[in-house]
Amino acid sequence: MNAVHCWWEGLPNERFWLVVSRFENGKDVLEVPDEDRNDVASWVSDLVAYLPPRDVIFHYHPTSHAIVSWAKPRGRAERREPGWSLTGMHDRSAARPRWVLKVKDRRPLAPAVTAAEIASIQWELFPALRALEDKVGDPLYYPFAMGSPDETHTLPGRVFKLPALFVERFPVLAAVASETRAPKAARAARHRASSWWTALDDLLEPRTKAARRAG
């Protein structure tokens, strides 16, 4: 396994990933085969093993050239040996070990985020991305080539890390971030409300006792 730079550890807002896949045959399963260590995609071939079940996966469709949906992991990725297939039968085409990740609750994005939009926005984000890299170290496992404000493409590989600052710049992605953050936010809101009522009770208690004595 390649050594992975887990720069997102200890940063709870950094919970977004990008999967490049067609999700063929309607199966919500991502297979990431081991790459030859001389292949440029090998630097991210083991990244899926570090994807926490609580995080958010965005799905980039390589034919549509857009981020088209999002989902949550269904558990952690599992290691499969050569010959294993989704049907449980021996598959001669599966000649390499692979990681298998099941996803759940996959939902479409409306509108999808196109490669052209990504190229334009990430061009503006370049200083912030460099600052993040300087802060947490290299590599970020960022998914998109950054050579032009007019066009981009995904780098070799199937699983990448999406920085939170990227997600927040696209309204449809930011909405997913907000939605998946809602339970925690709701708990915080309930805690604030409870604290407010407790403080109010503490404020009124002396007056209530004084009124009782006066009565």
- Locate the domains of the chain by residue range: 16-189
The predicted model gives 57-62 an average pLDDT of 95
The answer to which of 8-22, 54-68, 146-160, 187-201 has the lowest mean pLDDT is 187-201
Highest averaged pLDDT of the listed ranges 53-67, 92-106, 179-193: 53-67
User: Considering the chain, what is the average pLDDT of its residues?
Assistant: 82
The pLDDT of residue 93 = 45
The pLDDT of residue 90 = 47
The pLDDT of residue 84 = 54
Euclidean distance between CA atoms 48 and 52, whole angstroms: 9
Burial of 83 (0-12, 13-18, 19+ CB in 10 A): middle
